[in-house]
Amino acid sequence: MCDDLFYITQQARILRDSSVMHFNFSLTILLTCFFMLFYRFVSTDKSLTKLVFYASFFFYSMNVIRLVFFPFPFNPEYIELLRAQIECGILIPSRHNLELFDYMKWGNLFHITTVGNFILLMPLSFYLPLLFTEKKWNLINITFVGFGISLIIELTQLSYSLMINFVYRSFDVDDLMLNTAGVFVGFIIFSLLKAIILGIQKIHRLVFKIRAMDWFCFQ
């Protein structure tokens, strides 16, 4: 099989565009624009602030889906060529990882993938408390939600790999840990910012109250 590496590479290159499903960044922008039009049409609340907030959450959600699930191959012939490239040493194989801190062995502490996994779900620490204000959010329940969402992502990637019998997207406990840690740290940052903003508002109201009392005293 490995006697003609050029043929294997060329065939994989020819089939790639028609055998891999992509979700481009430009598509997330287009979908977000459609979402804004739809929200503007069906919502009775015409607040521009809420529109931008909901649109930003939709845009973020689409990009998470784009990053964790796409691109992925669906053509069996193309998948066979990927296997051949791995067997011939052209491609580095992906693998499932069930060992915590495995990324530390390869010096990937500040690698873009490691940092990316850490910040991937961090925005949920800001969006969830602002979207679902009726729920009392704390560090424990929001971390649990972050863990659950990350687990769904990893299990979906594992299921797809098992379905095509090829590790294209791997299950990685380090990704699960980093995603969850990002939500944990994100909520601490959110809580600190919230406390600072509330503190500033209290000081502003107190100063206004003092000024009002002074004004009445001089009348």
What is the per-residue pLDDT across 29-71, written as a single tens digit (0 to 9) for each?
Answer: 999 999 999 998 888 877 889 999 999 999 999 999 999 999 8
Please give the radius of gyration of the chain, using alpha carbons only, rounded to the nearest integer. 24
- Supply 179's token pair: 């995603």
In terms of Cα–Cα distance, which of 71, 63, 69, 189 is closest to 120? 63
Q: What pLDDT does residue 98 have?
A: 84
Q: In angstroms, how far is CA 17 from the centroid of its own chain? A: 25
Question: What residue type is 124 in one-letter code?
Answer: L
Residue 88: CA count within 13 A, CB half-sphere: 16
What is the per-residue pLDDT across 114-167, written as a single tens digit (0 to 9) for each?
Answer: 889 999 999 999 999 999 988 899 999 999 999 999 999 999 999 999 888 888
What are the φ and ψ backbone dihedral angles of 73, each rounded to 5 degrees? -85, 150
Residue spans of the domains in the chain: they are 98-219
Specify the higher pLDDT residue, 219 or 40: 40
pTM exceeds 0.85 for this model: yes
Specify the higher pLDDT residue, 204 or 11: 11
Residue 178 has pLDDT above 90, yes or no: yes
The DSSP code sequence of 189-209 is HHHHHHHHHHHHHHHHHHHHH
The DSSP code sequence of 75-115 is -HHHHHHHHHHHHTTSSPPP--B-STTGGGGGT-TT-HHHH
Q: What pLDDT does residue 108 have?
A: 61
Burial class (CB in 10 A: 0-12, 13-18, 19+), 187: buried
